[in-house]
Amino acid sequence: METIIETRNLSKSFKGIKAVDGISFAIGHGDVCGFLGQNGAGKSTIMRMLLGLIYPDSGSIFINGTEFGNHRRYLLKNVGAIIERPDMYGYLSGWDNLKIFAALSDMKIPAARLHEVLEIVGLKGREKDKVKGYSQGMKQRLGIAIAMVHKPDLLILDEPTNGLDPQGIAEMRALLISLSKDHGKTILISSHLLVEIEQIATSMLIIHKGRKVVEGPVNKLLHPDDSLVEVIIRADSSAVGRLSLSQWQKYLHSTEDTVLTFKMNPGNAPALNKWLVGENIDVLEIRSKHSLEEYFLSLTNDTIIKDRAI
Amino acid sequence: MIQLLRIELYKIFKRPRTYISFGIMTAITFVIQLAMLTDGKTFIGFAMQGINEQFDIQGNILNGYLVTYIILQSLLVQIPLLVALVAGDSLTGEANLGTLRLLLTKPITRPKLVLIKFFSSFIYTVLLIIWLAIVALFFSLLLFGKGDMINLKSETFIMIMQNDVMWRYAAAFGYAVLAMTTIASLALLLSAFADNSIGPIISTMGIVVVLTILSNLQIPLFNHIKPYLFTTHTIGWKGFFDEPVPYAAIARSAMVLILYTLGFLVTTIFYFNRKDIKS
């Protein structure tokens, strides 16, 4: 696949402390890349370097195959971004903010396009209100509108769900999925909400303490067969014994009191449930644990820091 | 560039705090005019005590031209502060709002952004001085009438015929624009270095006050550096009320101010172009 972003040995230090340490990665056209890492891992620094806000100490960035350093202005015409919070001019209306940032995009954007993006992000009818009166969710949506108003191919979104309520998060998720599927945008998105990333990302990049831990397509990194399925049963002293003699024994990952954890494809859960009921083992609950969360925690454990690429 | 400048001016003049400067200047001017209306004659009588013993001066001495001159003298510190309020906030204000990073993710170069901030501060300064000219000169003439202007100096006085005054004020206000643009470029430079708005505004005023004191101190130690301080030249507008007008000295002072302005601007562009935006 053709890459839209590529970095080579990107490094950055602040006051002698390495924030980003020789990171190389590539993101393909049309990808929704989930960018994960703990607080202070270097995500925002990398995103800022990709946008020319922070200068790398060493290494290179390529956007659409062109080196960023000397072509920043030209390349940014094709990029939309939200970094941390979508802060805007609170004393101006949403429309004014959108118009101002659209005018800074170095291309003529008709009013019809402004109306169109307001419609897409669901702010139609509120555009004349002053931004200081907007909720956090409305500001985030206006931020997305500003990021996409000039029809960029690449969106760089740093924590776009920050401060949103569950309804807002669900709306943002739907918007990002639509931007990817219906509008063909490539999206690099960082978030603390791993469940959200899991639902929208097609590829992932995980960093830890300024170094890349892993990158690759989600379907390869999060293999469904490696998912954890948790089964809560009524106390039964013979249950584990009977399980160890059954075909489910090979999936049994751990047991703790009445909680049995299986490492398997969640699609097998109904068959497992049927077997347990058949064995007169009372099943109180079956749930699939979020595989990305497990995966992320296992990778960002301090003992596991090595480059892995798929 | 023109479109970006229009956007910048739109942002400045949509912000309520911008008009505070105009309000403050209007208030100070009106207070001085009111004081002159009530106690002006006593004040002028006291100031001309020595002169009246040797000369018999007839006519409307306390006229609009003299009152305007007194107002301009009184606003020497206030106007730089009002200019610094906007120029000092131009880059750090964006950083504080969080809009700086959004601005710089757009295809606009950093030198261009600094130039836009500079030109918008310049236009704001021009408008502020024009407003000062209106409230000080126009209203003073309305309240106190016309007459020959007496420019009182420490040991002498200069009488300027009333038909010879207006061009001097036009030139003085033009010079004030230049002087205040130097202050604005200093505030812009400090704005590039800082991360909050208060710092550059206070620092600008601190520098202006300290250098003004140095420029006015009659101590031989400082005499060598005085010609190099921009504050020595910001009061060059007073030269237009001398007779004969010291054109060479005014041009020299104007050149120093232009060099300072360019120096501050180039330094701002150079520094801001390499700055990591972490706000």
Average pLDDT of chain A, as a whole number? 84
Q: Is the pLDDT of residue B98 over 90?
A: no
3-state secondary structure of A82: strand
B120 pLDDT band, cuts 50/70/90, is very high
Give the per-residue pLDDT at B154: 65
Answer whether A53 sits within 8 Å of B101, measured CB to CB: yes
Judged by a CB distance cut-off of 8 A, whether residue B277 touches chain A is yes
Residue of A nearest to B109 (CA): A73
B138 is a domain residue: yes
B63 is a domain residue: yes
Phi-psi region for residue A58, left (φ > 0), alpha (ψ -120 to 50) or beta?
beta
Give the per-residue pLDDT at A291: 66
A87 is a domain residue: yes
Average confidence (pLDDT) over B208-222? 84
Judged by a CB distance cut-off of 8 A, whether residue B244 touches chain A is no
Same domain, A210 and A244: no
Give the per-residue pLDDT at B53: 67
Range of the domain at A254: 224-289
Can you give the pTM of this predicted structure?
0.82
Interface size between A and B, measured as CB pairs under 8 A: 82
Q: Could you say which residues from 20 to 59 on chain A have a Cβ atom under 8 Å away from some Cβ of chain B?
A: 48, 51-55
Same domain, A197 and A158: yes
Judged by a CB distance cut-off of 8 A, whether residue A81 touches chain B is yes
Phi, then psi, of A147 in degrees rounded to 5: -65, -30
Rounded distance, CA A249 to CA A234, Å? 19
A290 pLDDT band, cuts 50/70/90, is low
Answer whether B108 sits within 8 Å of A81, measured CB to CB: no
Average confidence (pLDDT) over A259-274? 87
Choice among A48-52, A225-229, B200-204 with the minimum mean pLDDT: A225-229
Q: Structurally, how many domains does chain A consist of?
A: 2
A103 is a domain residue: yes
Residue with tokens 């949103």: A164
Contact residues on chain A for B9, CB-CB shorter than 8 A: none
CB B116 within 8 A of CB B8: yes
CB B205 within 8 A of CB B80: yes
Answer whether A104 sits within 8 Å of B15, measured CB to CB: no
Rounded distance, CA A278 to CA B221, Å? 102
Sequence-ordered alpha helix ranges (H) in chain A? 43-50, 72-76, 94-103, 111-120, 136-148, 166-181, 194-200, 218-221, 239-244, 269-278, 291-299
Range of the domain at B129: 2-274
Rounded distance, CA A84 to CA B152, Å? 60
Same domain, A133 and A184: yes
Give the per-residue pLDDT at A309: 40
B161 is a domain residue: yes
Q: Structurally, how many domains does chain B consist of?
A: 1
Angle ∠(A131,A151,A35) on CA atoms, nearest 5 = 80
B101 is a domain residue: yes
Same domain, A274 and A130: no
Angle ∠(A27,A33,A35) on CA atoms, nearest 5 = 110
Give the per-residue pLDDT at A308: 42
3-state secondary structure of A23: strand
Rounded distance, CA A70 to CA A179, Å? 29
Rounded distance, CA A54 to CA A50, Å? 8
pLDDT tens profile B125-148: 999 999 988 998 999 999 888 888
Average pLDDT of chain B, as a whole number? 87
The CATH number of the domain holding residue A128 is 3.40.50.300
CB A199 within 8 A of CB A192: no
Residue of A nearest to B105 (CA): A51
Pairing of strands A211-217, A283-289: unpaired
Contact residues on chain B for A106, CB-CB shorter than 8 A: 106-108
A306 is a domain residue: no
A193 is a domain residue: yes
Same domain, A158 and A81: yes
Q: Is the pLDDT of residue B45 over 80?
A: no
Rounded distance, CA A144 to CA A176, Å? 9
Pairing of strands A58-63, A66-67: antiparallel
The CATH number of the domain holding residue A280 is 3.30.70.240
CB atoms within 10 A of CB A241: 9
Same domain, A99 and A242: no
B51 is a domain residue: yes
Phi, then psi, of A285 in degrees rounded to 5: -160, 140
Give the per-residue pLDDT at A39: 83
* Span between the terminal Cα atoms of chain B, in Å: 25
What single string gives the DSSP state of each residue in B214-237?
HHH---HHHHTTGGG-HHHHHTGG
Same domain, A35 and A17: yes
Same domain, A92 and A212: yes
Give the per-residue pLDDT at A181: 86
CB B38 within 8 A of CB B146: no
Rounded distance, CA B83 to CA B128, Å? 8
Q: Is the pLDDT of residue B3 over 80?
A: yes
Average confidence (pLDDT) over B59-81? 82
Which residue in B19, B15, B21, B201 sits closest to B99, CA to CA? B15
Same domain, A115 and A247: no
Specify the higher pLDDT residue, A277 or B157: A277
Residue of B nearest to A92 (CA): B14
A60 pLDDT band, cuts 50/70/90, is very high
Q: Which residues, including other chains, have CB under 8 Å from residue A145's CB and lie 6 or more apart? A: A98, A117, A118, A120, A121, A123
Average confidence (pLDDT) over B62-83? 84
Same domain, A178 and A282: no
Residue of A nearest to B275 (CA): A54
For chain A, the C-alpha Rg in angstroms (whole number) is 23
Domain boundary among A196, A221, A246: A221
Give the per-residue pLDDT at A257: 84
Give the per-residue pLDDT at A269: 87
B279 is a domain residue: no
Answer whether A89 sits within 8 Å of B3, measured CB to CB: no
Same domain, A278 and A143: no
Same domain, A210 and A285: no
Angle ∠(B100,B101,B107) on CA atoms, nearest 5 = 95
Tokens of B2: 């023109």
Residue with tokens 């980003």: A20
Rounded distance, CA B44 to CA B66, Å? 10
Rounded distance, CA A226 to CA A179, Å? 30
Q: Which residues, including other chains, have CB under 8 Å from residue A288's CB and lie 6 or more apart? A: A227, A228, A229, A230, A266, A269
